[in-house]
Structure 1
Amino acid sequence: MLQSRTARRRWLAAIGLTGVAALALSACAQSERGDDSGSGKVGGTMVFGAAGEPKNFDPIFNDDGESFRPIRQMFDTLVTYKRGTADLAPGLAEKWTPSEDGKSWTFDLRKGVKFHDGTPFDAAAVCFNMDRWFNMKGAGAQSQMIYYGDVFEGFAKNEGDAAGDPVYKSCEVKDEHTAVLNLNKYKGAFPAAFGLTALSISSPEALKKYDADNVVQSGDSFTYPAYATEHPTGTGAFKLEKFDKANKTITLVRNDDYWGEKAKLDKLIFKIIPDENARKQELKAGTIDGYDFPSPADYNSLKTDGFNVTPRPAFNILYLGLNGANNPALKDLRVRQAIAYAVNRDQLVKTKLPLGAEVATQFMPKTVAGYADDVQQYPYDLAKAKDLLAQAGASNLSLKFYVPTEVSRPYMPNPSEIAAVIADDLKAAGITAEIVSRPWNGGYKDDVQKLGKHDMHLLGWTGDYNDAGNFIGTFFGREKKEFGFNDPAMFDALAAADGVVDQAKHADAYKQVSRDIMSKYLPAIPVSHSPPAIVVSSKISGLVPSPLTDERFDTVSKG
């Protein structure tokens, strides 16, 4: 080992306490519970305009922000993030301690915490959740556990597309308030990954009562059990009252038995309004109190009208995915490079993305450890694009371009407008992009991520923590139908990088993988990094914007 045992122990302890590099919003420096926790009006209802409908409310079966927004209010994780930053902070675990080799983690749990159903949170509950995820049965259920597959890599019995060797080994109840997680190998994602919303802790009794694992796949669609749709049961500051699909509202009520500072609001309502302009009009009319992802063109007018607009730091990536499995022409690196040269990303960023957005050169922002300054780049070059297509015999290429509707994302404020610009750029290079529009949680994500129906698609990612594995490891660490890409050499390189304990060497290993992705593989085209904003009424105080879009509403008051 090149790193001494003492230095290694010191580093493992440090990441257990401080986690990731801070991405603090300087205007919103907050304590762990929020500086407004002891002040502000108590009571009332806040209505927040959500950009899309949640898939369901069971954390483990989700991977998108519109599902996670209400889930975060109802559930807690073992580790969480300090308000307004990406720094790790105690959650349901007051302390987490790694073993010398990083292959086990001991969690000292909070005492006196109860789930919404009144049952106790304890070490047995932690291990029940860990074992539930690991032992999940059914190809359909496993396919919906995106984060678990990326972090833990495999199940007790892999089904369907799951094929990895599991990182999880066992969970031990050392005593009522101490749980020990044992791993088969060191995993660089930890401890930060313990804060993933997907790995929130549910009530074991509620999971059993409402048949939580009974996910049924029928063709291209999935049906979720009552736990996920009506009875999500966590330890969070709010609990679910009702999801009214007809009126597109999710109503949460304060959890008066919450273990921390009680929420100030009586009720928190998420009103699903997919159209950004409609969200703006409702804010101005006073029917909602805030919304996410306002159009950059509206920032000044919203401020003039007295609303508070706060851009978050850019900690995301928008990419143009390519599916070689569905369209053989896309297996040719020259064709993928031609598409990269054909898209005028500079112009796209200037005209369709928020002020402060940047063209992406690789699949992570500059603030992530593992970002490489010397990757191969693809500046706009129409002549080069045409030449590469001719070399590949693909000068008259036609592609099915899948684009989401009924949603705005932090990295993609208006998918249809962005897609139209890209399609026009490709047309100039001789590529016909047939746009196929599908609702975000009404077919799009399944078509792209589970079924691979597309040739090309728009998607992106907001980072969960500051590690390259959370970006390129999530995208390209294993075979996925989203990209139709299978190269064991790249998968092995990512796995090796994730397993490097020394911080500097860990980052260097990821830098090399990024170089290879951009020069040798290019399974997708990185487009941009955007600073998404959040806007609220002047009546709202105490909301702390998060670089991870991980806002919690328990500190919010409505005056």
Structure 2
Amino acid sequence: MSRSSRRGSRKVAAVALAVSAGLFLASCADSGADGGSGDAPESGSALTIGPVNASTNEGDPVKGGTLTFSGYSAVTSLDPSKTQIAGSVAGSELGAIYDTLLRYDPTSQKFVPKLANSMSPSSDFKTWTLKLRDGVKFSDGTQVDSAAVSSSLARYVTNKGPQSSLYASKVASVDTPDASTVVFNLVDPWTGIESLLATGPGMIVAPSAQQGDQFTPIGAGAFTLEKFAPNEELILDAREDYFAGAPNVDKLRMISIVGSQATSESLKSGGADAAYMRSLPNVIDLIDSGYPGYVDIPSLSYLSLLNTAPGRPGADVRVRQALALATDPVALDNRLNEGKGLPGQVIFQDSSRWHNDEAPIGVDPAKAKQLLDEAKADGYDGKITYLTMQENSAQAMALALQSMANAVGFDFQIEYVNSVADVVKRLYVDRDFDMSTGSANLPEADPFERLYSNLKTGGRNNATSFSDAQMDTLLDELGVATSDDAKKEVLAKIQARATEVVPWQILGNTPWLGVWAKNVHGVQQSIDGIMFFDEAWKTN
């Protein structure tokens, strides 16, 4: 293989990994579509963000045993600079090996120290000072000091980790005045650095981990590697010398069971002790069956992506508007999900703390037809092709979208491919599509990063080639907003602009459930569905 071919292969792999979590293809994994019109007043779902079936008396921790966790997708790399870190992909698994500097506490809606002892900003939010805990060591026995943190972050940027471009654009320099202090000097005021240090960049890799081309997963987390069979299982051993004390369980077995129904059945039969679930019917069933867990509802988690590149139908804003106005997400939800989903056309539904009162585009087939007719009068032939998976729920969704689009005059065609990898390559590598299933999955903790990467002109994950000078300005304003009120004000403007220019077709939200068996206790939640098991235990 030529050197240029190797570079191309690495690019495809890196993009596929980055997309797999932050922009996961919702319809390729779930048994129903979660669409909606407006603010979803007709939604049949009673789900809200927060814990479910929480135990009031967990008792004293029990030592020993193996805890089996079924992730949403199989782990393919143990290097946090080579994969997007999220609950849906590698986040809980790699978090067990490396920990993170910070953890997002969804109850307090604040970032709290984990490997770090504290993290504090200057009054202008342009300088952040991180203090490390005393006595924290990597699994090779070396100290987690400021030099190791700085080196790991530099390695993440050099390796072009999924969040590296944002980090590099925001962080001007890093100082290490002493062994326990890391100072981040920022280009502009920014609060989002806390979010990054709770995800991939905050998983600190030991200096000894990289020896030439050989990488060994050496971190400061509560577990160490025993066995890694890619796409099969990951076996981790508890560390007796973990800084917070030896974990309660002896081992973690991390697997990925194909299909939400099979995962649910494994949890009920005892084959799995904890899992990350996304399929709405299974989520509701497990909650109704009394299983404890945590429900998260990321915003923009069910979309149709519209390619706005020149020469594509979506390059004409009238075509994008017509598709949105022709599509009734509540009707889709009733048809495909028995009305139990979370339909909506707004970026932030009322379950989100970032919700605002800006109106959605609405559903208006007559106006859709008018806009489409105008585009046709200017030469558009009405044809558009929708790319999706050859899978039952994806097919049902595609056919429902087709019927609504064709009803106003589109010639809506469907192209099926065999795998998620095929869709990912077409969207994020080849950029060869008109319209496709998609997701942005904005975390409640900090929606900025994924909005920025999806909408900013030239953004890393801007698969639709969307470009709008006014939106770019708003995204820059959001990046420097430092209070929740200031962020909400800008997010309302972003919603208003999105209603005008329709960067995507919003269909609703898809809830996630971090769930565990009734005899499992002590699981901790973090950002984006990541779970930590260093305090978890099992009773008989």
Alignment check: 8 A CA contact 2:78 2:217 kept:
yes
The 3-state SS of whatever aligns with 1:195 is coil
How do residues 46-85 of structure 1 correspond to structure 2 at under 5 angstroms? 46-63=67-84, 64=86, 65-82=88-105
Q: Which residue of 1 aligns with 2:25?
A: none
Alignment check: 8 A CA contact 2:329 2:343 kept:
yes
TM-score, normalization by structure 2: 0.79
Is residue 408 of structure 2 the alignment partner of residue 422 of structure 1? no
Letter in 2 for 1:181: F
- The offset of 1:334, in angstroms, is 0.9
Which of the numbers 88, 108, 112 marks the counterpart of 2:131?
108
The 3-state SS of whatever aligns with 1:240 is strand
- The offset of 1:290, in angstroms, is 3.7
Q: Which residue of 2 aligns with 1:148?
A: 164
- The offset of 1:493, in angstroms, is 2.4
Alignment check: 8 A CA contact 1:24 1:86 kept:
no
How do residues 73-472 of structure 1 correspond to structure 2 at under 5 angstroms? 73-82=96-105, 86-134=109-157, 136=158, 141-142=159-160, 145-149=161-165, 151-152=166-167, 154=168, 166-207=169-210, 209=211, 211=213, 226-227=214-215, 231-245=216-230, 248-293=232-277, 295-298=279-282, 302=286, 308=291, 310=293, 312-317=295-300, 318-325=302-309, 328-352=312-336, 357-366=341-350, 368=352, 371-379=355-363, 381-393=364-376, 394=380, 396-403=382-389, 415=394, 417-429=396-408, 430-440=410-420, 442-472=421-451
- The offset of 1:300, in angstroms, is 6.8
- The offset of 1:84, in angstroms, is 5.3
User: Which whole-Å CA distance do the structure 1 matches of 2:96 and 2:110 have between them?
Assistant: 19
Moved over 6 A (4+): none
Alignment check: 8 A CA contact 2:307 2:435 kept:
yes
- The offset of 1:494, in angstroms, is 1.0
Alignment check: 8 A CA contact 1:292 1:534 kept:
yes
Go from structure 1 to structure 2 and tell me whether the alpha carbon gap of 1:491 and 1:362 turns closer, same or farther (over 3 Å shift).
same
Alignment check: 8 A CA contact 1:322 1:523 kept:
yes
Alignment check: 8 A CA contact 1:398 1:433 kept:
yes
Alignment check: 8 A CA contact 1:79 1:195 kept:
yes
The 3-state SS of whatever aligns with 2:219 is coil
Alignment check: 8 A CA contact 1:105 1:180 kept:
yes
Q: Which residue of 1 aligns with 2:468?
A: 487
Alignment check: 8 A CA contact 1:326 1:454 kept:
no
- The offset of 1:124, in angstroms, is 0.5
Go from structure 1 to structure 2 and tell me whether the alpha carbon gap of 1:279 and 1:103 turns closer, same or farther (over 3 Å shift).
same
Letter in 1 for 2:255: K
Q: Which residue of 1 aligns with 2:44?
A: none
- The offset of 1:515, in angstroms, is 0.8
Q: Which residue of 2 aligns with 1:16?
A: none
- List per-residue Cα deviations over 1:299-348 (Å, max 9, x = no partner): 676578x6615460423322211112275211001111111122221123
The 3-state SS of whatever aligns with 1:60 is coil
User: Which whole-Å CA distance do the structure 1 matches of 2:385 and 2:283 have between them?
Assistant: 35
- The offset of 1:257, in angstroms, is 1.9
- List per-residue Cα deviations over 1:400-428 (Å, max 9, x = no partner): 414497xxxxxxx9655544433443344
User: Which whole-Å CA distance do the structure 2 matches of 1:119 and 1:538 have between them?
Assistant: 38
Alignment check: 8 A CA contact 1:117 1:206 kept:
no
- The offset of 1:118, in angstroms, is 2.1
User: Which whole-Å CA distance do the structure 2 matches of 1:205 and 1:255 have between them?
Assistant: 18
- The offset of 1:446, in angstroms, is 4.0
Alignment check: 8 A CA contact 2:127 2:183 kept:
yes
Go from structure 1 to structure 2 and tell me whether the alpha carbon gap of 1:517 and 1:297 turns closer, same or farther (over 3 Å shift).
closer
The 3-state SS of whatever aligns with 1:341 is helix
Alignment check: 8 A CA contact 1:398 1:431 kept:
yes
Q: Which residue of 1 aligns with 2:36?
A: none
Go from structure 1 to structure 2 and tell me whether the alpha carbon gap of 1:467 and 1:281 turns closer, same or farther (over 3 Å shift).
closer
User: Which whole-Å CA distance do the structure 1 matches of 2:291 and 2:234 have between them?
Assistant: 24
What residue ranges of structure 1 are gaps of 5+ in the alignment? 1-21, 155-165, 212-225, 406-412
The total of aligned residue pairs comes to 483
- The offset of 1:468, in angstroms, is 4.2
The 3-state SS of whatever aligns with 2:356 is coil
Letter in 2 for 1:291: A
The 3-state SS of whatever aligns with 2:183 is strand
- The offset of 1:181, in angstroms, is 1.2
User: Which whole-Å CA distance do the structure 2 matches of 1:375 and 1:351 have between them?
Assistant: 24
Q: Which moved more, 1:236-245 or 1:337-346?
A: 236-245
User: Which whole-Å CA distance do the structure 2 matches of 1:184 and 1:250 have between them?
Assistant: 39
User: Which whole-Å CA distance do the structure 1 matches of 2:151 and 2:283 have between them?
Assistant: 46
Go from structure 1 to structure 2 and tell me whether the alpha carbon gap of 1:514 and 1:84 turns closer, same or farther (over 3 Å shift).
same
- The offset of 1:252, in angstroms, is 1.9
The 3-state SS of whatever aligns with 1:316 is coil
User: Which whole-Å CA distance do the structure 1 matches of 2:338 and 2:515 have between them?
Assistant: 14
Alignment check: 8 A CA contact 2:514 2:531 kept:
no
The 3-state SS of whatever aligns with 1:308 is coil
- List per-residue Cα deviations over 1:435-462 (Å, max 9, x = no partner): 333533x344343233322222222244
Alignment check: 8 A CA contact 1:353 1:530 kept:
no
Q: Which has the higher contact order (CA 8 A, sep 6+)?
A: 2
Alignment check: 8 A CA contact 2:333 2:343 kept:
yes
Q: Which residue of 2 aligns with 1:12?
A: none
Go from structure 1 to structure 2 and tell me whether the alpha carbon gap of 1:84 and 1:255 turns closer, same or farther (over 3 Å shift).
farther
User: Which whole-Å CA distance do the structure 2 matches of 1:542 and 1:433 have between them?
Assistant: 49
- Alignment identity in percent? 22
RMSD over aligned CA atoms reads: 3.2
User: Which whole-Å CA distance do the structure 1 matches of 2:222 and 2:412 have between them?
Assistant: 50
Alignment check: 8 A CA contact 1:127 1:171 kept:
yes
Letter in 2 for 1:293: M
Go from structure 1 to structure 2 and tell me whether the alpha carbon gap of 1:299 and 1:516 turns closer, same or farther (over 3 Å shift).
closer
Letter in 1 for 2:528: L
- The offset of 1:210, in angstroms, is 5.3
- List per-residue Cα deviations over 1:493-515 (Å, max 9, x = no partner): 21123223455334312321221
User: Which whole-Å CA distance do the structure 1 matches of 2:446 and 2:303 have between them?
Assistant: 18
- The offset of 1:294, in angstroms, is 6.1
Letter in 1 for 2:185: N
- The offset of 1:363, in angstroms, is 2.5
